[in-house]
Amino acid sequence: MAEFSLELNDDQKQIRDWVHEFARDVIRPAGEEWDEREETPWPIIQEAAKIGLYGTDFMAQAMMGDPTGLTMPVAMEEMFWGDAGIALSIFGSGLAAAGIAGSGTPEQVMEWVPQCYGDADDVKLGAYCVSEPDAGSDVSSLRTRAVYDEATDEWVLNGTKAWITNGGIADVHVVVASVDPELKGRGQASFIVPPGTKGLSQGQKYKKHGIRASHTAEVVLDDVRLPGRMLLGGKEKLDAKLAKAREGARTGAKQPAMSTFESTRPAVAAMAVGIARAAYEYALDYAKEREAFGKPIIMNQAISFMLADMATEIDAARLLVWRAAWLANNGGYTNAEGSMSKLKAGRTAVWVTERAIQILGGYGYTREYPVERFHRDAKIMDIFEGTEQIQQLVIGRAISGMRIE
């Protein structure tokens, strides 16, 4: 078991500085442009792939090669410090890869995780498809069905997924579907939908409040037929899980989507910390330079106290993220620490970015300054991969030991 430390090791510092340089020199200067265009920033994803920041090698180094669990959240913070929309376009494929890694066989992981990224000469995308028009936070109520055709050893998928990062434009879609609706969440399974599969299409593309450089759309599945080998984990494992669930046993019957989200929550929380830090640093620099009544506005207690609180909340959120990331790599959460980190970091990002606008005053409300974009980007951190209220529910169940509804 790795020792928990608040001091990053030399490798982690090197990765942090490397990612920060890319965020500073490549991502941040392009943030406003791609936010306005509301398009996937392919040239920047390709640049990330060329230097090894986008792909399986980096993911392996940051996740499997780090027993402390801190490398990935440190990298996420730096990337989202640069720009949240572009950073999500770069790291969005990671959720699909995590879904495959969490539920797939070793053979499936080896074959399909690399195809979520491609390489520097042929960049690819992955999409993790869980949420639906009538089932966002309530992932136990998915209506997308997967029916097994014994005659052909194929699965037939029908349904519509909503709010999917890279949805419809991804090369690899990982789809969570219900195979036994009576079992609700315990009757679900995950499937790989390869590129070019007949029956999969993009529905509406959403015009969003923030993270506009990240493609978000519906994914429509109309009689999508998949070979049996596209079921993550295999049919034998699924049949055993369903049998236990039908007997009333909960062990081994965890929802695939929730397992994936539990593993990624510290990284998502780190995204929020990065956005908050960007807004805080910009507001701090502005307060030192902007003069009113003959002195820099930071000399006024009202401003300096706001900045003091912003710095404190960011540090507190980061500490929760690091604790959760370490626990996820060293024995698992004991008291919903992953949800605690996401709850705190999401709230912090929204609050800090709002305070940054307040410090800049009227300028902060205009698009000539980036803090309004930081604020728009921050709000999603309270919503996706489990809303603020879902995190509270998870924490409430953990601290009470009761099934709070």
* Positions of CATH 1.10.540.10 in the chain: 10-123
State how far the alpha carbon of 345 is from the alpha carbons of 211, 381, 388, in Å. 17, 8, 10
User: CATH number of the domain at 10-123, please?
Assistant: 1.10.540.10
Q: What per-residue confidence (pLDDT) applies to 140?
A: 75
Q: What per-residue confidence (pLDDT) applies to 247?
A: 85
User: Rounded distance, CA 14 to CA 16, Å?
Assistant: 5
Q: What per-residue confidence (pLDDT) applies to 137?
A: 64
User: Rounded distance, CA 260 to CA 268, Å?
Assistant: 12
Question: Nearest Cα to 3, choosing from 66, 96, 91?
Answer: 66
User: Rounded distance, CA 7 to CA 114, Å?
Assistant: 32
* Positions of CATH 2.40.110.10 in the chain: 126-246
Contact between 159 and 132 (Cβ < 8 Å): yes
Q: What per-residue confidence (pLDDT) applies to 404?
A: 86
**372 contact partners, CB below 8 Å, separation of at least 6:** 357, 364, 365, 366
Q: What per-residue confidence (pLDDT) applies to 105?
A: 96
Q: What dihedral do alpha carbons 38, 41, 42, 45 form, nearest 10°?
A: -150
* Active site (catalytic) residues: 385
Sign of CA dihedral 333, 53, 109, 200: positive
User: Rounded distance, CA 186 to CA 258, Å?
Assistant: 11
* Positions of CATH 1.20.140.10 in the chain: 256-400
* CATH class, range 126-246: mainly beta
Q: What per-residue confidence (pLDDT) applies to 134?
A: 83
**Matching CATH number, 256-400, of 1.20.140.10, 2.30.42.10, 1.20.58.100, 3.30.830.10:** 1.20.140.10
Give the residue ranges of the chain where pLDDT is below 70: 1, 63-64, 136-138, 249-263
Q: What per-residue confidence (pLDDT) applies to 246?
A: 87
| Cut 0.85: pTM above it | yes
